Amino acid sequence: MRSSNIYRNGLVLAAAILLSAGTVGAVDPNRNPAQYIREFWGSEEGFPGGSVHAIAQTSDGYLWIGAETGLIRFDGLKFTRLDYPPGPINGLTTNVEGNLWIRLDNPSLLRYRDGNFSDVSGELGNHVITAMGSGRDGQILIEGITNLTFRPHAGKLQGVAFKNARHNVIVTALVEAADGNLWLGTRDNGFLSLAAGQDVSVLHGLEDRRISALLAMSGQELLIGSDDGIARWTGSEITRRGIPES
């Protein structure tokens, strides 16, 4: 991946879509990233500018971009920056109901559906969100600075505690694999596997321990996004085989 200017001034859509938690359905797990076409959109192509923090795609086909400048919608031809919500957007994901979940640059969490925004922050209590991702059932997963992972239950977000507390670890990405194994990317400690109540840390082979995105592929495979670029976890090792050079 090229320098961070890609995300400061424009978009590389293939890599961004691959690592966007809300677009899992658009990814063929039998393809490797090198088989996807990459296109770049910058200010000359109409991108409003600002650092890009998150990308998700809703079931109506719109691509949503969470940027330093706000929430941006892309229809394949043009970019539209919405007036609401104001301020930077730190996280985006979708779920099977077609909702777009929006994490603001404050403790607020919004849900967008059919043109309407709902503030659902109250369902999280006082927990501060650090990451959002997708479960194997297509539902949202939310992680905070406490030892709780939130997921929907009976129409509300409910926190689930793990036996093994993750002390001094800030979670920056999470995804649930097909086998039910929950993977957490961290700010400074690589990524963790939560299986049978145990934390298993994966560090060997990581050139950058600051993980920004995780995407579950087929079997035990994951795609891992960091400031160093994209890597692939095969279930036993981290490799860049099949990852295109930028």
Question: What is the residue-averaged pLDDT of the chain?
Answer: 77
Question: Does the structure show a pLDDT above 50 at 42?
Answer: yes
Question: Does the structure show a pLDDT above 80 at 5?
Answer: no
- Mean of the pLDDT values across residues 96-103? 92
- Mean of the pLDDT values across residues 221-243? 83
In the three-class reduction of DSSP (H, G, I as helix; E, B as strand; rest coil), residue 157 is classed as: strand
Q: Is 214 exposed, middle or buried (0-12, 13-18, 19+ CB in 10 A)?
A: buried
Structure confidence at residue 91 (pLDDT) = 92
Question: Does the structure show a pLDDT above 70 at 165?
Answer: no
Q: What's 180's DSSP letter? A: S
Structure confidence at residue 21 (pLDDT) = 42
Q: pLDDT tens digit string along 61-92? A: 899 999 999 999 998 888 999 999 988 999 99
